[in-house]
């Protein structure tokens, strides 16, 4: 369950997982146990991070620490890291999500997202 006031999903579809988590938490289950169960069933989340030497993509949970995308020692430019994370999530968008802190998205990227959303709306609605 992502705090959507501070984070934005850039790729993947976490809604079914999040809905199930909400139901289970509301039913009294422990959130950590739920997350461990979902990870065991294939749910993976990666996050855009700003590092000392550039941008990177890292596991969003300590459950995934052994998991990595490529060489974590390579730091990328902002849009390169976003592309890598999005491509990773789209390999299995039902079980994977890639997200970023809204404060980490550079103004050019936010404009790109708005333009892309507009383009999709225009073509979807004819």
- Residues 28-56: pLDDT tens digits? 999 889 888 988 898 888 888 887 778 88
pTM for the predicted model, two decimal places: 0.74
Contacts for 90 with CB less than 8 Å, ≥ 6 apart: 11, 12, 96
10-21 pLDDT tens trace: 888 888 988 999
- Residue 84's pLDDT is what? 84
Residue of higher predicted confidence among 60 and 116: 60
Tokens standing for residue 93? 């968008």
3-state secondary structure of 98: strand
Quick count: other Cβ atoms within 10 Å of Cβ 94?
A: 12
Average pLDDT, stretch 98-119? 69
- Residue 120's pLDDT is what? 44
61-107 pLDDT tens trace: 776 655 556 555 566 787 788 888 888 888 888 999 999 988 887 76
């Amino acid at each position: 369950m992502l705090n959507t006031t501070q984070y934005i999903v850039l790729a993947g579809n976490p809604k079914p997982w999040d809905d199930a988590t909400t139901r289970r938490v509301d039913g009294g289950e422990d959130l950590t146990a739920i997350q461990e169960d979902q990870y065991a069933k294939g749910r993976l989340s990666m996050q855009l991070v700003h590092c000392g030497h550039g941008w990177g993509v890292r596991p969003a949970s300590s459950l995934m620490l052994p998991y990595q995308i490529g060489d974590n020692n390579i730091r990328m430019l902002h849009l390169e890291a976003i592309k890598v994370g999005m491509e990773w999530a789209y390999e299995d968008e039902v079980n994977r999500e890639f997200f970023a802190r809204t404060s980490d998205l550079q103004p050019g990227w936010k404009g790109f997202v708005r333009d892309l959303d507009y383009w999709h709306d225009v073509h979807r609605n004819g």
